[in-house]
Structure 1
Amino acid sequence: MSKLTPADTVVVLDFETSGLSPKQGERAIEIGAVLLENGQITGRFQELMNPGFAIPAFIESYTGISNAMLADAPPCAEVMERFYQFVGPHNMVAHNASFDRSFLTAEWAYIGRQAQAEFACSMLLSRRLLQDAPNHKLATLVAHQQIDNQGIFHRALADAEMTAQLWLCLLKQLQQQFKITQPSFKLMQQLSSQSKANIVSFLRRYSQQ
């Protein structure tokens, strides 16, 4: 999908994992995602997956996902093939996207797949567009933006849904503050690489084009 596609049509995803890095042999244990089309959630994807080994007690406590739950889950390869079909050509968004992208790339590599589109990071965007937030953790931003939630964090679908609502808040911020009503996905990527001090001048120049 072209980078010039609208920013309000994306797949927003979140992984729960056995550890911090696929380079250390860690694997995904849950994937959750929502498909946004024209700013509306039109699809959801959520599955646990068995990484083939027991996860640490800390991860069980942190996520609420137990080894017993994973024992009955399908293997990563099956789930990630289904997720590949769900994503299709859409651009993708995640909060702290470098983490999720590293696991997505690794899990798809196991099954001979690779992303067809681009990534953007809602955390990087929020640092630039919501500079008055106390910090830019997902839970903090959900509270800061008064996003409806059920108080569930560190489960993949719940986090993906809250990230999707945060992404829409960021698009609304562009409309309200800078009169940019239909930002492209490419613009959101460009914003992520701007310094905080340069954001206002950059967006004013963009809105005058």
Structure 2
Amino acid sequence: MNANSLIILDFETTGLSPDNGDRAIEIGAVKLESGVVTEHFQELMYPGRPVSHFIADYTGITNDMLSNAAPCHEVMARFADFIQGHNLVAHNASFDKRFLDSELKRISRGYDGQFVCSLLLSRRLNQDAPNHKLGTLINYKGIASNGSFHRALYDSEMTAKLWLAMLADIQEKADIDEVPFSLVQKLTKTTKANVGKLLATY
């Protein structure tokens, strides 16, 4: 399976860890097919309690907005249907995977795709970047942006653009026409020092 056909997702949440009782409050995702965005998914979800002033300021998602949103279990059931059969990407995927796993466990659902992290890939490919925050990398790669980071759909759209730019870099460095998902998985687990060798000999 190629790395340009998958789903890129982003959660906004009440806090940092579902293990501490934090919940998702927004999910945004884009579906890529052969490098083209073909579908979007975006929904707010009510976590069952108010969000803090910090989270409201950070995300722009207010308690008034969430009061009219569907509960988490309804939104996540729809999202589980959306992602079936696709590999998954997120920027700092360990964070998003924890919330995806936690929310789906609550409704006894799962997913059959494999997860890969665009942040880990960037650390291997963009070693001269000042840092690997999404906004920094968008500027570093010269990708146009005109929205607000820390909203789920916009972040997933920007991650998709970054992802495709990194796939283009891999194609050039490895001299290949398509980037297999398995190669991206291998790159994220390769030491920075060995990335050039892996791509040159692929």
> TM-score, structure 1 length as denominator?
0.95
| Distance apart, 1:178 and its partner CA | 2.2
Cα distance between partner residues in 2 of 1:176 and 1:148: 22
Matched, 1:158 2:146: no
Once the two structures are superposed, the pairs formed by residues 39-188 of structure 1 within 5 Å of their partners are 39-188=35-184
Cα distance between partner residues in 2 of 1:153 and 1:62: 9
8 Å contact kept, 1:126–1:170: yes
Match of 2:12 in 1: 16
Q: Which amino acid aligns with 1:67?
A: N
Cα distance between partner residues in 2 of 1:151 and 1:78: 27
| Distance apart, 1:152 and its partner CA | 1.1
Which residues of structure 1 form unaligned runs of 5+?
none
| Distance apart, 1:15 and its partner CA | 0.2
| Distance apart, 1:202 and its partner CA | 1.2
- For each residue in 1:98-153, what CA deviation from the matched residue of structure 2 results, as whole angstroms up to 9, or x when unmatched? 00000000000011011211001000000001111111100000001111211410
SS at structure 1 position matched to 2:183: helix
8 Å contact kept, 1:13–1:160: yes
Cα distance between partner residues in 2 of 1:17 and 1:134: 26
Q: Which amino acid aligns with 1:192?
A: T
8 Å contact kept, 2:174–2:201: no
Matched, 1:193 2:189: yes
Which residues of structure 2 form unaligned runs of 5+?
none
Cα distance between partner residues in 2 of 1:119 and 1:186: 11
8 Å contact kept, 1:174–1:181: no
> TM-score, structure 2 length as denominator?
0.98
The share of aligned pairs that are identical, in percent, is 54
Give structure 1 regions of 4+ aligned residues with deviation exceeding 2 angstroms.
none
Q: Which range moved further: 145-154 or 91-100?
A: 145-154
8 Å contact kept, 1:19–1:59: yes
Cα distance between partner residues in 2 of 1:88 and 1:179: 31
Cα distance between partner residues in 2 of 1:205 and 1:107: 41
Q: Which amino acid aligns with 2:143?
A: I
8 Å contact kept, 1:11–1:91: yes
- For each residue in 1:35-67, what CA deviation from the matched residue of structure 2 results, as whole angstroms up to 9, or x when unmatched? 000000000000000000011110000000001
Number of equivalences: 202
| Distance apart, 1:180 and its partner CA | 2.3
8 Å contact kept, 2:46–2:70: yes
| Distance apart, 1:204 and its partner CA | 1.5
